[in-house]
């Protein structure tokens, strides 16, 4: 980042190449929508590009980058709450009543052919997505990005004790939600 600040345009390309998968992973796990996560990942790097002049290396670069990524994802969630959505599976008929039609997701296999492991992964993803934002973000950063409590605290601008508490509550909520899917060894 310092090289990019000094005028090395190639340095920005290296920043993107090194970090785009990590940023996408964080955003996707917060948002849960593949296409939207791709767009938001681009938005993260646009913000990095635009704010490069204000970057001060007080912490690791990835800490600063993850803070931008989580803020972009949270802003997108807040914006979605304001938008009234119309479900794709509802089709208005001529008589004014709605009828339902399944819209298949071609990226996934049919439910009757899924393996138990795939179903469990889906239920875990749903449970994570249902977590409150203040629990979901530290959980994603810890479990999927392998950040320690201190790094998460820097990103979220809170104490390490707050991170520990949020992670503990997230684990309890996940355990309660997934109780029927997990074996006794996980409870």
The larger pLDDT score, comparing residue 6 to residue 83, is at: 6
Give per-residue pLDDT as tens, 170-187: 999 999 988 877 665 454
pLDDT on residue 41: 96
Is 98 within a domain?
no
Is 97 within a domain?
no
Decide: pTM greater than 0.95.
Answer: no
Q: Give the pLDDT band of residue 53 (cuts 50, 70, 90).
A: confident
The residue from 82, 98, 123 where one domain ends is 82
Query: Which residues form the domain of 69?
Result: 2-82
- Of 117, 123, 165, 126, the C-alpha closest to 142 is 165
Measured CA to CA in angstroms, residue 129 lies from 36, 50, 122, 124, 182 at distances of 15, 30, 10, 8, 18
Do 132 and 76 belong to one domain?
no
Is 109 within a domain?
no
pLDDT on residue 180: 77
Give per-residue pLDDT as tens, 81-132: 776 555 555 555 555 555 555 555 555 555 544 466 677 778 888 899 899 9
Q: Say how far apart CA 183 and CA 187 lie, in whole Å.
A: 7
Is 110 within a domain?
no
The residue from 82, 105, 128 where one domain ends is 82
Measured CA to CA in angstroms, residue 71 lies from 8, 13, 40, 130, 152 at distances of 27, 22, 10, 18, 13
């Amino acid at each position: 980042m310092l090289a990019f600040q000094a005028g090395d345009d190639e340095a920005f390309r290296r920043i993107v190449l090194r970090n785009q998968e990590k940023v996408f992973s964080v955003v996707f796990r917060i948002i849960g929508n593949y296409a939207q996560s791709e767009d938001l990942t681009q938005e993260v790097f646009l913000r990095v590009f635009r704010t490069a002049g204000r970057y001060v290396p007080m912490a690791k670069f990835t800490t600063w980058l993850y803070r931008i990524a989580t803020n972009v994802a949270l802003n997108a969630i807040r914006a979605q709450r304001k938008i009234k959505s119309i479900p794709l599976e509802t089709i208005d008929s001529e008589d004014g009543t709605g009828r339902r039609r399944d819209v298949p997701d071609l990226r996934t296999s049919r439910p009757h052919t899924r393996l138990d492991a795939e179903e469990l992964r889906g239920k875990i993803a749903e449970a994570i997505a249902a977590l409150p934002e203040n629990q979901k973000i530290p959980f994603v950063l810890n479990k999927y990005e392998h950040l320690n409590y201190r790094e998460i605290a820097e990103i979220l601008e809170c104490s390490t004790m707050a991170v520990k508490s949020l992670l503990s509550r997230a684990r309890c909520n996940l355990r309660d939600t997934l109780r029927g899917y997990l074996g006794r060894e996980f409870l």
